[in-house]
Chains A and B, each alone.
Chain A
Amino acid sequence: MMNWEPLILTFKLAIITTAILFVLGIPLAYWLAYSKSKIKPVIETLVSMPLVLPPTVLGFYLLVAFSPNNAFGNWINEWLGLRLIFSFEGLVIASILYSLPFMVQPIQAGLAGLPSNYKEASYVLGKSKFITLLKVLLPNIKPALLTGIVLSFAHTIGEFGVVLMIGGNIPGETKVASIAIYDEVEALNYDTANMYSLILLVITFSILLTVYLINGGYLKKYGR
């Protein structure tokens, strides 16, 4: 009998990660799109690192950093009462770092692609940067926002290496679907592994298809 817990945990992780990333990603993308700061290339590189770095490398350094044996991990443990290794909270933080480029890059590209006139027209009309972002810039990059949300969500569902390094395999806490599949295969339970895999496959396919339909305008074209 299949255990639904890993799947539920996977989607819980993906939803929380995506929500936090959305809130963090917008200001970061805004800064990257418009800043002329000298440290911008460095920040841009850091944001993009998870695209090329093996997830195990990121997971390894997070494991080292979050370990209560180290100053940083100890500080978090004592001051916030959070133990970040082998815990769900740790997975959320690791997933945020791991999926950061998938949220930031589409939004950054969307903002950079808007005519600078929109921003300037709004400023001349006396509106602050924040109001301009909220009422003019973001509503005009909805496809980019949707792409960022969906890619981050899908990418978090698909992560394996980082989770394995920092979360381990604790049922109900860190045993997400990708880990469960690996676990079942190791135990030669190919049927259960296939069920998990198939569900992930169908769900991610549907999500991505929806995005392409919406962003490509197909629904508008054929929906009427």
Chain B
Amino acid sequence: MIQLSLHKQLHTAKGTISLDIELALEPGQFVTLYGESGAGKTSTLRMLAGLLSPDHGKIKVNENVWLDTDAKINRKPQKRKIGFVFQDYALFPNMTVRENLEYALTKNQDTDIIDELIAIVALGELQYQKPDRLSGGQQQRVALARALVQRPEILLLDEPLSALDTKMRIALQDYILKLHKQYNLTTILVSHNIGEILKLSDTVYILENGSITKSGTPTAIFTSHQMSAKFRFTGEVIAIQPEDVVYMVTVLIGTNVVKIIAQESEIQDLTIGDTVVVASKAFNPVIQKVL
């Protein structure tokens, strides 16, 4: 059980906003914080990790108090058991992939975890390379593995995939899911990508100007009404063409291009670039705009 109550005046590019966050997470949850930049998502993660101090607030993880401004308790980042993955990876350039992971070991920790993690993120062949020889996706896999060396119970991901292309993103999402399950993590993700959120998280919190305005399952939040569907995928509209009496909507789902027949009424509010859900009810796939 993780309980957060954080309050801070944040000075952002758009002016000062007042961040007021109250959250309670269950162990094993995969939670996403979603919102425009400057809404306070990253600040929330940084306060949880101890990299930023709130003006006042409380953080309780299981029975341990990490922060209580009234009682003047504020654990340093070093004393909070957390894995943190930065947007730009923050790998140490002077160390090889393996050394980056080994650096994270605690005193007397069994080194088996290094080989285990290297195997999971498939970096065996690259383990003696320096990070600057690696692609963005490979670097992010190293960062992900490094964050888990100390076996934290909480994993914080600050827009970890935003610098990657679609193909790489999807592969990394699979790694994240795998690690989340294998290590029984409670994961908090900051993301802008609705497809990613639908795929990864079980709960999403929408932040607007420092406060949580909506929360729920990603499907409930991002689609206007619940659909009963046999299968469903999220993708991006890349083309809409008229074909006789119907329309052909081309959707990019992951790396696959899918063509879907739609009625004129269905494409009314669709434009190229929209994120959509493609789902099948009985026989016909239906297509619906997301958020």
Interface residues of A (CB under 8 A from B): 115, 117-118, 120-128, 135-136, 139-140
Contacts and interface: CB of A to CB of B under 8 A. Distances in A.
A124 B103 CA distance: 12
B94 A125 contact: no
A115 B89 CA distance: 11
B187 to A, nearest CB: 15
A121 B147 CA distance: 9
A135 B88 contact: no
Q: Secondary structure of the B side of the interface?
A: loop
Given A115-B88, A126-B150, A136-B94, A120 B103 contact: no
Nearest to A117: B90
A120 B88 contact: no
B51 interface: yes
Interface residues of B, number: 24
Contacts of A123: 50-51, 76-78
Interface of B: 49-51, 76-80, 82-84, 86, 88, 90, 92-94, 103-104, 106, 146-147, 149-150
Contact of B51 (A120, A128, A135, A136): A120
A139 B49 CA distance: 25
B94 A139 contact: yes
Nearest to A140: B94
B43 to A, nearest CB: 13
Nearest to B143: A121
B104 A125 contact: yes
B93 A140 contact: yes
Contacts of B149: 125
6 contacts: A118-B92, A120-B84, A120-B90, A121-B84, A121-B90, A126-B104
A118 B90 contact: yes
